């Protein structure tokens, strides 16, 4: 499990410039809520039941499922390519270094099996990923949002596309905005910044390893220094457990609230106790800093739950396959 968590932090800084043609399409044409109301009316109920069972056994599965959906959408769009196994042509996305810590594949397979018993060949693995992310947040205390469905599954998954497409945890606010814009977000989205801020709020659940924060603690500018944006007391606490060059242990992304989907993350950021460099970057821009302040001064996070749901819905439209595109896989790890 420690290895699986090693690069968990990488998943949350969204949407880098991708080389895949058409991937910045975010219109979600062909998606709608209630897509399976007639063809598979109990699909969402079966998914929720299966995910609830998994999280009751291991609450950290929630963050894993949320991360799977993010990583899927970053490469080739939200079409379940992250679930595919390698072929003789080469490694799949899950084999890329930045994806080696992904987990939750077994839960997705269980959901797929449960749904297939009711309506075989109807519900895509891409939609299951989107539903699983929503249910994971809801089951850990977050707000419910309606998930648009109607995605179809892709047939290509290449590990060589990972490094160019998945971001790192040391992006500054300018890089974040550029990367979000590369996904087809409007100027209004970027001006409001709620899309960036609320998705980064997914740091409210999950963890990151000593390896991920080592440079920030011990060699921030290449001069054996600590990031000055990190609260000194917090830095000292981290150094007691995370030694130079260390890989373990793992730390909560949201100290004291890492298994609950809430707005506590923003309070930590405002106090300069965000674990990642990208967390601290949220204070370097007027709009994002104002958002952090607004969420951190409200008991319920002001508009966080609503914003997060809207942001997840918009992210779930990236590069989708619909209509006659792609396929509905019989097994999520294999093309038909």
Whether 254 has a binding-site annotation, put simply, is yes
Q: How far apart are CA 10 and CA 102, in angstroms?
A: 11
Whether 204 has a binding-site annotation, put simply, is yes
How many other CB atoms are there within 10 angstroms of residue 293's CB atom?
A: 15
Q: Write out the H or E segment, with its range, that includes residue 287.
A: helix 286-296
Catalytic residue among 69, 71, 264, 286: 71
- Extract the tokens encoding 272: 């300069």
Whether 167 has a binding-site annotation, put simply, is yes
How many other CB atoms are there within 10 angstroms of residue 227's CB atom?
A: 19
Whether 22 has a binding-site annotation, put simply, is no
Whether 203 has a binding-site annotation, put simply, is yes
How many other CB atoms are there within 10 angstroms of residue 13's CB atom?
A: 27
Question: Is 69 in the active site?
Answer: no
Whether 42 has a binding-site annotation, put simply, is no
Q: How far apart are CA 244 and CA 241, in angstroms?
A: 10
- Extract the tokens encoding 261: 């989907």
Whether 69 has a binding-site annotation, put simply, is no
The length of the chain, given as a count of residues: 336
When computed from its CA atoms, the radius of gyration of the chain, rounded to whole angstroms, is 19
Q: 331 forms bridges with which residues in the sheet? A: 334
Q: What is the DSSP string of 145-164?
A: -PPPB--BB-S---GGGHHH
Question: Minimal CA–CA distance to 143: which of 332, 315, 333, 304?
Answer: 304
Q: How far apart are CA 145 and CA 147, in angstroms?
A: 6
Question: Minimal CA–CA distance to 123: which of 155, 104, 150?
Answer: 150
Helices (H) and strands (E) in the chain, counts: 15, 2
Q: How far apart are CA 212 and CA 12, in angstroms?
A: 13
Q: What is the DSSP letter of 229?
A: T
Whether 72 has a binding-site annotation, put simply, is yes
- Positions at the binding site: 72, 75, 77, 81, 93, 167, 203-204, 254, 262
Q: Which residues are catalytic?
A: 71
- Positions at the binding site for Ca(2+): 72, 75, 77, 81, 93, 204, 254, 262
- Positions at the binding site for heme b: 203
- Positions at the binding site for substrate: 167
């Amino acid at each position: 499990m420690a290895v699986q968590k090693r690069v968990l932090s990488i998943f949350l800084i969204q949407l880098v410039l991708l080389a895949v043609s058409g991937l910045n399409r975010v219109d979600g044409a062909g998606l709608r809520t209630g897509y399976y109301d007639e063809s598979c009316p109990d699909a969402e109920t079966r998914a929720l039941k299966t995910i609830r069972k998994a999280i009751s056994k291991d609450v950290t599965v929630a963050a894993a499922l949320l991360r799977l959906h993010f990583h899927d959408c970053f490469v080739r769009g939200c079409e379940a390519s992250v679930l595919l196994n390698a072929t003789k042509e080469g490694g799949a996305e899950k084999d890329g270094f930045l994806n080696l810590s992904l987990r939750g594949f077994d839960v997705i397979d269980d959901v797929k099996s449960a749904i297939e018993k009711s309506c075989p060949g109807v519900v895509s693995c891409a939609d299951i990923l989107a539903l699983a992310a929503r249910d994971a947040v809801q089951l850990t205390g977050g707000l419910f949002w309606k998930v648009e469905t109607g995605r179809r599954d892709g047939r290509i998954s290449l590990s060589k596309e990972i490094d160019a497409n998945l971001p790192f945890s040391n992006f500054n606010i300018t890089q974040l905005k550029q990367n979000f814009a590369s996904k087809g977000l409007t100027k209004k989205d970027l001006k409001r910044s709620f899309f960036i801020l609320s998705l980064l709020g997914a740091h409210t659940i999950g963890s990151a390893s000593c390896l991920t924060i080592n440079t920030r603690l011990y060699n921030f500018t290449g001069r054996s220094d600590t990031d000055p944006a990190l609260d000194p007391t917090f830095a000292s606490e981290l150094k007691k457990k995370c030694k130079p060059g260390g890989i373990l242990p793992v730390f909560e992304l949201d100290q004291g609230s890492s298994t609950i989907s809430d707005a506590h993350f923003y309070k930590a950021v405002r106090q300069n106790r965000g674990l990642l460099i990208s967390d601290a970057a949220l204070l370097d821009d007027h709009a994002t800093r104002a958002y952090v302040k607004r969420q951190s001064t409200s008991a319920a996070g002001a508009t966080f739950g609503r914003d997060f749901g809207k942001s997840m819905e918009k992210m779930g439209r990236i590069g989708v396959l619909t209509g006659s595109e792609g396929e509905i896989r019989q097994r999520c790890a294999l093309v038909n």
